[in-house]
Amino acid sequence: MEKTYNPQAIEVEIYADWERRGCFTPSGDGKPYCIMLPPPNVTGTLHMGHAFQDTIMDALTRLHRMAGDNTLWQPGTDHAGIATQMVVERQVNAEGTSRREMGREAFVARIWDWKEQSGDRIENQLRRLGASVDWSRHRFTMDPELSVAVREAFVRLHDEGLIYRGKRLVNWDPVLHTALSDLEVVSEEETGHLWHFRYPLADGTGHVVVATTRPETMLGDTAVAVHPDDERYRDLVGRQVMLPIADRAIPVIADEYVDPEFGSGCVKITPAHDFNDYEIGRRHELAVVNVLDDNACLNREVPEAYRGMDRFDARRRVVEEMESLGLLERIEDHRLMVPRGDRSGAVLEPYLTDQWYVNAQALAIPAIEAVETGRIRFVPDNWSKTYFEWMRNIQDWCISRQLWWGHRIPAWYDPDGGVHVGRDEAEARARSGIGEEVPLVQDEDVLDTWFSSALWPFSTLGWPDRTRALETWYPTSVLVTGFDIIFFWVARMVMMGLKFMGDVPFREVYIHGLVRDADGQKMSKSKGNILDPLDIVDGVDLETLVAKRTTGMMQPQLKDRIEKATRKEFPKGIPAFGTDALRFTFAWLDLGRVEGYRNFCNKLWNASRFALMNTEGFDCGPEGEMELSLADRWIRSRLAAAVARTREAFDGYRLDLASQALYEFTWHEFCDWYLELSKPVLQSGAAPQQRAARRTLVEVLEALLRLMHPLMPFITEAIWRQVAPLAGVEGGTIMVQPYPAADAWGEDPAAEAEMTWVQSFILGVRQIRGEMEIPPGKPLKVLLQGAAEKDLAWLEAHRDLLERLARLESIDVLAEDDAAPPSATALLDHVKLLVPMAGLIDAEAEIARLEKQRGRIRGDLAKSERKLANPAFVENAPESVVEKERGRVADMKSALQRLEEQLERVRALG
RNA sequence: GGGUGCUUAGCUCAGCUGGGAGAGCGUCGCCCUUACAAGGCGAAGGUCGAAGGUUCGAUCCCUUCAGCACCCACCA
């Protein structure tokens, strides 16, 4: 093995080998286990959030595959309607043409080209991350088979009346020219104004004052509303006001919706341009006057001077005109929520159009029940509350989009405006009994991308056909995703799964945290803190990183700031850390942590080198006599505990705890102690002892590699291939080896107790050495005083080890009443461990050290004694707790006494 | 307005159904000891956000408060 761990040298090659071997294909007749990869945007790239999420899924997949399950990780990509169309539209715009100029067919063809061109990028990224997906089953949401599923679902829902077409206010994006669902609206508080206008009464007897944040919509007002109980305006109700500028008479109405406390207590009502006003308009049968067009410019319903004007220009103009008419009362600063499209960032308009909707309430009922009854379990469970909250207040889902990229809605219109739905035109005709002589035109719109995503867990497995795959893996085992798409995706999959499959799409939903940067900020392009996962794997120089963060920005004005921050944070770019180190880093992308885990990989690498150096070409058993040492028994016992901890953590989706268990065992038990303890035996033990040590070394390491493999697939594979033969394991790849079971490595409490004694001995000496600044290499003499039989027995058994690890010249036993030379002291239970001070130790320092220890023990002792003096404690606390406390007091008292004696002795020197 | 979380060492976070708080990084000492300086050994550092309550006992359970974060929502 190379002396230093070099991830690049192993990762790519190993992945290719796994693919050649067909390791990712489900196999065996174990119980089915399936995870659906949330399909990323086909033309996008994977960001840190993906890398994190994919690592979790891969770890679970590898774990279950090793555990013998018939495991499928289903990959695929999403056509991502709006996002993809926008990207390509920008491209063609940059080329001086436009999508309208190109026409629908050519433009869609262009998107397909782009999709082909960028399609492999995500796949390559996934490969570099080690994702063990079954590539042979890769699906794209617009594959012919999946399109069949989409049309099937649409037609069935329509036949049941669960999809309908309706004219109502929708969220309209005037830049993208499409309707959006409620979920695609992001509202943020922005600063604006509240304009107070006077509307004169029609009979000229005065005026009312209305307040608005959107002056331009006044041209579409069809009423003024007041609260029915508002004394101030009681006699106005039923009278008419004259709408300025538009010069229309509109009624004053009374409606509970009005808050008398807000503004003047009078509200202008614009049913065509406000969701609330629309409802009020329905209640009062008001006229609906739409004053905007698709682009949110004013239309022909407004006075000549305003026609064709942009809404924000019109706003200024209206204010000016009202002022010149003497009808502007005042302007206040005001903070208000402004709805914007999540993709375009454009201010949305409530806009009256015909759209297709899914009746979500009906589908939500069983979806709520599935979680209530535990057929689907959220992990952590808290997220079920969020799910319920949304599901119980769900609104109908607008599924039509005025885009060109996506699944065309399977509905056709006849010349009279009749609508005919079918899986294709022929079926639509047949179902409606329409002959070929009647021309039909298909609906121009496409479906919301999330409509096809909602079918993903079964459409990818072959639905509507009843395939073998569908029978095997549906319902899937667990969905791994972030909380940000619980509504977009999770909830809708549950609704559709229950509807079409009659069963939940997954049994568990594991909601992981969001990946944040080192400052705890969410990663986003506009914050300029994004990192490409492969830049951490392979490293990146500063200039490339800056370029990545500042090109193709939606808000180019942020460029300078982002560039500066990036140069400051990564003055030398980012070094290559390797995939395994990245995968081992959970939830928080702190480069310090990635570095720590890269170091961990290096540690494992070198420990393995040590193991191989001491075993390759030697007799490692299992034939031949073997004599297990204390260390051998101990490390096997500790491995059993590590296996148990790791599996338990995996079962609870606590990958952070799994990684912690692995880290601690590997570094602080296997490397820090076991390897050190095994050195004397490996170098100069008797044959049966050496054989046992070598056997233990390769067996424990081999099992450890399997235990770690789900989280760190590459390094474990690379090492395993060399170690496995020594442990007598065949099989070519670690991927298909069984996952370690705790019961294969029995716990050994006796060995652990004895080992604790050995460790305490060594630690005691090291502490003295460290605090007295005695160089590590300087051999020391040690005396033991007050040793019991057990101590003497263990001392003799492990004298060599103790001398070696604590770097001792000698260990001698003193009788209780023997005079000891001036020494520094450590306590090993009730035994005094003495390091004679002559020439080594400063009395002052030793006194200070002992006093510090004494102070600490005194404090603890006082607390414990107080506790035991409390009769309520002794009576009420469990016997074991009281006993433990008594034992502690006894120990502390004896320790205190020893310290006092020692202090006296050292003081006497001075 | 409704909902969900969070507050523990300098920083970022663990802490399993209540029984004297841990890790990584950082800091400070001593070391190139033949697996590893991407390392070894040792140390310092916390009234567990505040105040009450329950309990023999509270970082953990309950209440209130303060601060922070996120999600949802139609107040002009």
Give me the DSSP letters along A770-828.
HHTT--TTS-EEEEEES--HHHHHHHHHHHHHHHHHTTEEEEEEE-TTSPPPSEEEEEE
Rounded to whole angstroms, the distance from the CA of residue A380 to the C1' of nucleotide B17 is 17
Q: What is the pLDDT of residues A366-402, one digit of tens each?
A: 999 999 999 999 998 889 999 999 999 899 999 999 9
Helix (H, G, I), strand (E, B) or coil at A836: strand
A388 CA: nearest nucleotide by C1': B3
A270 CA: nearest nucleotide by C1': B76
Helix (H) or strand (E) holding A400: strand A400-401
A769 CA: nearest nucleotide by C1': B42
Structure tokens at A804: 């070696």
Rounded to whole angstroms, the distance from the CA of residue A385 to the C1' of nucleotide B3 is 9
pTM of the model: 0.93
A264 CA: nearest nucleotide by C1': B76
Structure tokens at A135: 């590539």
When mean pLDDT is compared over A125-134, A203-212, A888-897, the highest value belongs to: A125-134
Q: What is the DSSP letter of A516?
A: B
Q: Are A407 and A78 in contact (CB under 8 A)?
A: no
Q: What is the pLDDT of residues A217-272, one digit of tens each?
A: 999 999 999 999 888 888 888 899 999 988 899 999 999 888 888 888 899 999 99
Q: Which of A576, A611, A610, A608 is nearest to A594 (CA)?
A: A576
* Distance of alpha carbon A141 from alpha carbon A447, whole angstroms: 12
A268 CA: nearest nucleotide by C1': B76
Q: Are strands A76-77 and A266-269 parallel, antiparallel or unpaired?
A: unpaired
Rounded to whole angstroms, the distance from the CA of residue A859 to the C1' of nucleotide B47 is 15
Rounded to whole angstroms, the distance from the CA of residue A850 to the C1' of nucleotide B20 is 21
Nucleotide B24's nearest residue (CA vs C1') is A593
Rounded to whole angstroms, the distance from the CA of residue A588 to the C1' of nucleotide B25 is 13
Nucleotide B18's nearest residue (CA vs C1') is A877
Q: Residue A100 contacts by C-beta under 8 Å, 6 or more apart in sequence?
A: none
Q: What is the pLDDT of residues A512-547, one digit of tens each?
A: 887 777 666 777 777 777 888 999 999 999 999 999
A339 CA: nearest nucleotide by C1': B74
ipTM: 0.95
* Distance of alpha carbon A418 from alpha carbon A432, whole angstroms: 10
A675 CA: nearest nucleotide by C1': B35
Angle, CA of A247, A253 and A256, to the nearest 5°: 140
Distances (CA, A) of A300 to A309, A351, A359: 11, 16, 34
**Mean pLDDT estimate for chain A:** 91
pLDDT bracket for residue A118 (50, 70, 90): confident
Mean pLDDT of A686-710: 96
A608 CA: nearest nucleotide by C1': B35
Rounded to whole angstroms, the distance from the CA of residue A649 to the C1' of nucleotide B60 is 20
Please give the backbone phi and psi of residue A446, each rounded to the nearest 5 degrees, phi first.
Answer: -115, 170
* Distance of alpha carbon A228 from alpha carbon A267, whole angstroms: 13
* Distance of alpha carbon A573 from alpha carbon A547, whole angstroms: 12
* Distance of alpha carbon A42 from alpha carbon A116, whole angstroms: 9
Rounded to whole angstroms, the distance from the CA of residue A340 to the C1' of nucleotide B4 is 24
Structure tokens at A480: 């791994």
Rounded to whole angstroms, the distance from the CA of residue A70 to the C1' of nucleotide B35 is 38
Q: Which of A229, A249, A247 is nearest to A239 (CA)?
A: A249
Covered bases, chain B (protein CB within 7 Å): 2-5, 12-15, 19-20, 23-26, 29-31, 33, 35-36, 38-44, 55-57, 71-76
Nucleotide B2's nearest residue (CA vs C1') is A389
Q: What is the DSSP letter of A305?
A: G
Rounded to whole angstroms, the distance from the CA of residue A412 to the C1' of nucleotide B3 is 43
Mean pLDDT of A633-650: 93
Q: Per-residue pLDDT for A659 more than 80?
A: yes
pLDDT bracket for residue A60 (50, 70, 90): very high
* Distance of alpha carbon A168 from alpha carbon A251, whole angstroms: 23
A588 CA: nearest nucleotide by C1': B12
Rounded to whole angstroms, the distance from the CA of residue A455 to the C1' of nucleotide B71 is 25
Residue A588: the pLDDT is 61
Q: What is the pLDDT of residues A662-692, one digit of tens each?
A: 999 999 999 999 999 999 999 999 999 999 9
Residue A155: the pLDDT is 97
Rounded to whole angstroms, the distance from the CA of residue A603 to the C1' of nucleotide B73 is 53
Structure tokens at A906: 């050292």
Q: Per-residue pLDDT for A587 more than 80?
A: no
